[in-house]
Structure 1
Amino acid sequence: MMNLKKSGRKIVMLGVVACLLLALSGTTGISAAADSVLYAKPSASGSGNCSDWDNACTLQTALGAATAGEEIWVAAGTHKPTDGIDRTATFQLKIGVGVYGGFAGTETSREERDWTVHETILGGDIGEIGDDSDNSYHVVTGSGTDGTSVLNGFTITGGYADGSYPDSRGGGMFNVGGSPTLINVTFSGNSAGAGSGMWNFSYSSPTLTNVIFSGNSSLWGPGGGMWNWSYSSPTLTNVTFSGNWATDGGGMYNTDSSPTLTNVTFSGNSADNGGGMFNYASSPTLTNVTFRGNSGGGGGGGMRNSLNSSATLTNVIFSGNVARFGGGMYNYWDSSPTLTNVTFSGNSASEKGGGMFNIWNSSPTLTNSILWGNTALVGAEIYNYNDSSTPTIKYSLVEGSGGSGPEWDTSLGTDAGGNIDADPQFVDAANGDLHLQPTSPAIDVGDNGALPADTLDLDGDGDTVEPLPLDLDGNPRIVNGIVDMGAYEVQTASVVNECVQALPDLAFANPAIAPQMRNALENKLLDDPNSVFNLIEGGMIQDAIDKLKYDIRAKADGSLGGNPANDWITDPTAQAELADMIDALVAYLETLL
């Protein structure tokens, strides 16, 4: 497939029309192996000196013996911080030591393990089984660590921090001044007074990749999945928060902290306020993040921002979130987030602000965004309390706004130009599919200049100053020269490919070779060096027109490629659709000459 990042506006129009009409060594007496690996099992075996799988020690023993530069390989099963009843017992990570789970107990290389099959559990249920009140306060502790402290391939469960501080925080993981690296880790079924899954305090900024927080619950405070406090700004990539509960910030609660989230999902979390996320004097950066089906009770089903919290959101969706005020988002007390290519749809507020509620000098900026299909008693899309809260809205689609100009509804905020009020034509909003149909009025009408720099280098090309190159799906963010509104960009190649491949076998004269004929048509439109799309990309518009008229349309009722045995579309209805499609493409291309 050609590189669509180089494509211009012409290519999108081609795909749109085509789709419409056509129908991816140790200490303390424990010896380490020569390759600096210590081996651990739920129960020690052989000599228990950690030297190999036959003489594996417990994980707690291995952690005590390991030194910087060594790895601990941990076999599947449930590992507990103690075989006694000391609730303060915990798995303390070490600087320079990598702890890897997911081994069957026979592997000779780390690459052989399969952590998805061989579940390795770090469990806090150390006392009477099923009685949470005697569980470990913190299953894992990462205090005093750095990025060389690695935890990879584990499920952390059963932490129960119901004591006095510090034993009231971080049932799953407790970090104070620690920033370990976590990969392929699940936090499930942990509880604490607050910060139940993970507690990060005092410059604790762990790095999390492929991590899940599911079913963690706070006993009385904020942060069901995670609480970041006091300049603790973790980096999260490919992380999911689902089914967590807390008084505030069911998924995540931030206090004086600004985490960075990329490809993160908040779903089914609940709290009295900020069902998905609650920010207090915090300004996280969210890129390619989804908030679905979260409940915020009083305010902010998806997100609540309070006290000078100015989050930055790009390529974000708020869908199906509910609250009394601000079903999608609640901004309070000088909180003015920046939203670029954000979609709000299907959120609801029992009182005001189905999509967004702003109060007490909270004036967010919305660009390239869509607010459509949200509900509330008052202010279905945006409700601004009668004070100095005045959002700035530009190049956005807002239901009931009247669009930019004299019909603009000033109660929504300031019309900064480029706004429209028209059905965005989501693919299937009722079932949460907020991609745009090819005929959407939100296509190619955004503001490219509003896209933030690609500081995280999402596409891995080394360019961190280019505009953000990807949409929520990880596809090119700008196709055909102008960015679309909303979190998703319409992708020409995928649209055309789906439509061509959807042609029924019986549309062809010889159904037995229908797959080959579909591919032949796709090649002529997309893939061949001299395909219509590549000709347009090279600026050869007249050549593209000629190819459409004489190489494709002329054969609509004949053969493709000159072989009469390969007659392609002979069904009269399909022939007519093909002819209409090509005529429409030709007419459009002629306007570009």
Structure 2
Amino acid sequence: MMRCFCVTRIRVLLTIALVIPAPAFAQITPAQTVVYVDVDANGSASGTSWVNALPDLQGALQNAASGSEIWVAAGTYYPTSSSATAEGRDATFQLRTGVALYGGFAGSENNRSQRDPSANITILSGDIDRGIQPLSKSFNVVTASDTDASAVLDGFTIRDGQAALRFPNERRLYSGGGIFNQNASPTLSNLIITANFAEAGGGMFSGGTGAPTLRNVQFVDNNASEGGALYIDDTSAPRFINTIFIENTSSLDGGAVFTESASSISFDGSSFTANNSGADGGAIANSGGSISFTGVSITANQTRFRGGAVHNVGSSAAFTATTIISNTSRDDRGGGVFSEDSAVSFFDSTIVGNNAVIGGGVAISRGSALFNDVEISANAVRSTTTGGGGGGGISISSSEVVLSDTLIVNNRAVGGGGVSIGGGSNVLFQSVVISGNQATGSFFAEGGGVSLFASSAIFTATTIVNNYAEATGGGIDAERSSPLIVNSLLTGNQADRDGGGIYMTSNDGTILDSVISGNRAQRGAGLANYDSDTILTNVLISGNRADIEGGGVFESEGSFATFTHVTIASNRATFGGGVYTDESTPRFRNSLIAGNLANLNPQLWAESSNPAFDHSLITGIDLRDFGTGNLDGTGDPRFVAPIDPDLAPTTAGTFRLQDGSSAIDVGSARFLDERQNDVPDLNGDGDRSDIITRDLTGASRVQGSATDLGAYEGGAPQEPELRPVLYFPLFRRR
């Protein structure tokens, strides 16, 4: 339905829009000609002074010489005084190269710096028949076509344009109700563009070539089929500085802005608030070109489908120092940002409190994304009658994504409370904190921190803490994937079923130089391994609690895990406090299992399994007949500060070795040499020629006559250093 606007909307604008202070304008030089316009003037109409001002702005504009300025007093001005004929609707204020229009004067000023547009409202209205016929307004209140930067429009309210005539198919008749800009680069400043309507760009259309500059411009309550406030097309490349978009609407895409431009468009220090679209892009729908946001606020926008704030398809988008807050996708994905077949980047930005059915904060599909120094928090995936989707903070599908120095906290979804990854994606987490996220609302709620399906992910120097899953994988849930976890912490996570810290199924995963501590689940509180060939090297698994089986580790369904220099201590379960293995073949090399608690078999429970041991110690179990170099189980590892497993889940305890430990100098360095036929790719970099020379904390191995057992070389400091590791190639082949 065509929307009708009334003059009474001005009172709304006075309360929300005229917030720009009167700028300090340059004074007129003697060489400049000033033409005075005042709709209420009754002098000689020569335009040479306020007393003799012209009452007709249209005439003043048409007759002004190049290099002149037109000063316009407060009042309402129409582009024609004719009746509303078909020709009358063509009436427009045509800007001219070399002519500057300034509004906001009281009618007594001597220089431009004295004007005050916020007090002296100067209106350019397309309501040419004064409200007699609601559908008989000017197509375009202002036309800026074929001008350059010397065409200036400054200090006006532009309203009541109506460009919705599709036949004949002439662009100006259905585009840019407020301002129509074609092949032009005008300078537009201190404007309020409101209550305009068009098929394309209710407030403004900018097409063809050119690069208009808009500074301190407000688009308020405009409406269109696409681009409620603004439609950008062709190679037009406008720049927006301190521009505000409020309560604009579109029935299709781009509640505030729709762009198909093949050029670069930039928004600096601008804001988008409470805009709404009926299809995609609550605030902005971008396709085809590149768009950048610097110091921008995008808040409380809504769309029906994709991109509550921004919808980005086949384009590039960059967000710097930008806040994306409380935006909504009602029925689809990308509550904050949706990006498809595109490259998108976020720097020093905040994505908070957005929601959608999939990808509460950001949804990335078939593209690439970079997040650096970004906070992604309190975003949510909503449940619907057909269930909810994944990725409370971020949803990633068939994409390559890098996250560094980023916080992913307190997000919520059915799957992947923090991040959901699928569709063959490759994702790098570097120096990322993933904390307090939840996967809830379904029996299949998996991956409180991260859900990973049929994809590859590298976690380096990453902290995954205090996440929760109603089903499996409190910290990480990985299925049919290739996760690589390096120099990372997984602590305080919980799953109501399996895998409090990590849940692996049908995986080829690697865990190196990491700590899995203080997690809780029914099975595999630290790590649950199903049909997976996980490789663990220099790993501490401590203080985890399983209500049923495998306080530290649970192995099942033909898993073939390799534990090299792994310490499994102070974990608790009903059965198999340290390790529970069922129908699996784990290998333990230079490893140490001690001080765990269970009703039966506190250190190791092997059910229909064939574990292998080399140079390892399990307290209470004589391993000498089960491999080479194993200990008889009577020795004391002499941890510096072991913790009572009754206190699990806990991250307390110090598990490096003291002098006199039976686990010192009894290991074999050959198990750290990937060149050996029976040694796997320990660090997961795809190169089978590496030798692991350091322990969990980065201390050198083999400080005595031989390497020590467990994650720590004797005398090493307790706290691991989270060291980002760069892998080449970045992502491994699955």
Fold conserved (TM > 0.5)?
Answer: yes
Q: Structure 1 residues 327, 89: closer, same or farther in 2, change over 3 A?
A: closer
1:31 to partner: Cα distance: 4.4
Alignment map for 1:546-561 (pairs within 5 Å): none
Mapped contact 2:565–2:591 kept (Cα < 8 A): yes
More helix as a share of residues? 1
Q: Equivalent residue for 2:631? A: 419
Aligned residue in 1 for 2:580: 357
**In structure 1, the residue corresponding to 2:463 is in which secondary structure?**
strand
SS in 1 for 2:512: strand
Task: State the SS of the aligned residue for 1:253.
Answer: strand
Instruction: Report Cα offsets for 1:246-283 as digits up to 9, x if no partner.
Output: 11111111111121110121111111111111111112
The structure number with the bigger radius of gyration is 2
Q: Which residue of 1 aligns with 2:712?
A: 488
Partner of residue 319, structure 2 = 72
Query: 1:128-207 maps to which residues of 2 (within 5 A)?
Result: 137-146=359-368, 149-156=369-376, 157-163=378-384, 167-207=388-428
What fraction of aligned residue pairs are identical, expressed as a percent? 26
Letter of the aligned partner of 1:88 in structure 2? R
CA distance in 2, matches of 1:322, 1:415: 29
Aligned to 1:393: 613
CA distance in 1, matches of 2:459, 2:466: 18
Task: Name the residue aligned to 1:309.
Answer: 532
Structure 2 stretches of 5 or more lacking a match? 1-210, 213-231, 241-263, 274-283, 285-289, 300-306, 644-651, 719-734
How much is the aligned-residue C-alpha RMSD, in angstroms?
Answer: 3.7
Determine the C-alpha separation between the residues in 2 that align with 1:331 and 1:465.
28
Question: C-alpha deviations, 1:189-246, integer Å up to 9, x for none?
Answer: 22222222111112112111111221111122211111111x3111111112211111
> CA, structure 1 residues 195+62, in 2 after alignment: closer, same or farther (shift >3 Å)?
closer
Native 8 Å contact 1:171 1:192 kept in 2: yes
Question: Is the 8 Å Cα contact of residues 593 and 603 (structure 2) preserved in structure 1?
Answer: yes
1:477 lines up with 2:722 in the alignment:
no
Alignment-derived partner of residue 248 in structure 1 = 472
- For the pair 1:43 / 2:271, whether they are aligned, the reply is yes
Change (3 A) 1:273 1:456: closer
Question: Are the counterparts in 2 of residues 264 and 289 from structure 1 also a CA contact under 8 Å?
Answer: yes
CA contact (8 A) 2:312 2:342 kept: no
Residues 452-486 of structure 1: CA deviation (Å, up to 9, x unaligned): 5499998x9x9972311221112223334632111
Residue aligning to 1:549:
none
What one-letter code is carried by the residue in structure 1 that aligns with 2:479?
Answer: T
Matched pairs, number = 421
**How far apart are residue 161 of structure 1 and its match?**
3.9
Say if 2:641 is the partner of 1:428.
yes
Aligned counterpart for 2:606 among listed residues 384, 395, 412:
384
Contiguous gaps of at least 5 residues in structure 1: 1-24, 103-119, 127-133, 406-413, 496-593
Q: How does 1:79-98 map to 2 (within 5 A)?
A: 79-81=325-327, 88-90=333-335, 91-93=337-339, 97=343
- What per-residue deviation string (whole Å, max 9, x for no partner) do you get for residues 37-85 of structure 1? 956668259xx9988868x5749888749955x743124x553445x86
Contact 1:38 1:66 in 2 (8 A): no
Taking the aligned partners of 1:475 and 1:265, their CA distance within structure 2 comes to 18
The separation in 1 between residues aligned to 2:508 and 2:687, in whole angstroms, is 24
Q: What CA distance in whole angstroms lies between the structure 2 residues aligned with 1:287 and 1:463?
A: 15
User: C-alpha distance in 2, partners of 1:485/1:437?
Assistant: 12
2:513 alignment partner, SS class = strand
In 1: Cα distance, 2:712 partner to 2:418 partner: 31
Kept after mapping to 2: 8 A contact 1:72/1:97: no
- Look up the SS of the partner of 2:670 in the other structure: helix
Task: String of CA shifts for 1:473-516, please: whole Å, max 9, x gaps.
Answer: 12223334632111011358x89xxxxxxxxxxxxxxxxxxxxx
If asked which structure has higher relative contact order (CA below 8 Å, sep 6+), I would say: 1
**Alpha-carbon distance in structure 1 between the residues aligned to 2:393 and 2:692:** 34
More strand per residue: 2
Give the secondary structure class of the aligned counterpart of 1:259.
strand
Q: Distance in 2 between matches of 1:184 and 1:346?
A: 32
